Amino acid sequence: MKIVSHPIKHSDLNAMLPGYFGDMIKAVVDVRQGILGLDAELHADIEKELLTQGSMQADLWGINLYPEMDGEDFIEFDSLINIRPHQGNRSRDVQDPAIRKQIVDTINTLIQ
């Protein structure tokens, strides 16, 4: 597992392959702090680590990254940790367009 708070190269993601899931890397984004946890078997493992480092549950969103893909295929907004009826997210998908934008902006800032 790796916690990213400063930009890394896209090639650093490629170096994580093949990981637990072949061509996919699980990740959790803290949209408030603008940090990213990468490369664990479960999103919940990354979530737990970020929580111990001071992140707030409401700010953490699970995604999957496909380093060998481009554009919209690079990020998949799918994780069990995203099911949060109390926040209006009743799906594994990130449903709020504003949160999706925050996730994409964080990824674009941290992975270059």
Model pLDDT for residues 17-56, shown as the tens digit of each residue: 877 778 899 999 999 999 999 999 999 999 999 999 999 9
The pLDDT assigned to 96 comes to: 96
Q: pLDDT at residue 77 above 90?
A: yes
Domain ranges of the chain: 2-110
Which regions of the chain does DSSP assign to beta strands (E)?
Answer: 2-4, 25-30, 35-38, 60-65, 75-76
- Burial level of 1, CB count in 10 A (0-12/13-18/19+)? middle
The residue length of the chain stands at 112
Model pLDDT for residues 79-96, shown as the tens digit of each residue: 999 999 999 999 999 999
Q: What is the mean pLDDT of residues 66-82?
A: 93
Q: How far is CA 24 from the centre of its chain?
A: 11
